[in-house]
Amino acid sequence: MPQNRVFGTAPSQAGDVTCLLALWIDTPLGAMLALASHEGLHLLEFVDRRGLEREIATLQRRLRCSMVPGNNSHLERLTTELRDYFRRSMRFTVPIVMMGSEFERSVWRLLQTIPAGTTRSYAQLAKTLHRPNATRAVGRANGKNCLALVIPCHRVIRADGNLCGYGGGIWRKHWLLDHERQGLEETTQRSPRSQQMSR
């Protein structure tokens, strides 16, 4: 999506309105768009994600705000942590703002507990939430996540082990899972216990 279609306010007018700062971040999997306020990160998506313009419009409507190009401490931290993620450091500490229903937020919080290099099924997540019949609702909440990688919805797969829909594209989901598994293997090989066992 062209950058000039993202921003609703000129940078010179940013001081006159409540706004989200928008940053274009290049990654090995393509450009990502990050939106943040003083509270934290509101959105992180690949710019070719289906429905991105709709996500942005919904966010603007809920916050009654405009967006301008810019940077702040949260976006600076995110940029560093994204760079480290693609170097196989899988930890994100950037503050986030989750805007959704209580159920959606409960799903997103649960996604954050899935360790890098591992996966869960929609059914497993529903059972963990003590709502075993809510598999489809979990899937819908997963699809509404607008904080890619930071809230790792790419770690959710079908019960049969097959990959399923991902807003950034199935090829990216496959790449991210392989990337994390390789990082997990490298960490395991470097652990003191593994080194002792190999002696």
- Between CA 94 and CA 196 the distance in angstroms is 35
Paired tokens of 77: 């931290």
User: Which of helix, strand or coil describes residue 69?
Assistant: strand
Say if residues 50 and 106 touch (Cβ distance below 8 Å).
no
Say if residues 47 and 62 touch (Cβ distance below 8 Å).
no
Specify the amino acid at residue 142: N
Specify the amino acid at residue 44: L
Angle between helices 102-111 and 135-144 (to 10 degrees): 80
Say if residues 53 and 1 touch (Cβ distance below 8 Å).
yes
Active-site residue flag, 65:
no
Helix (H) / strand (E) containing 125: helix 122-128
Given the residues 19, 65, 146, 153, select the one marked as catalytic.
153
Say if residues 22 and 34 touch (Cβ distance below 8 Å).
yes
As annotated, the active-site residues are 153
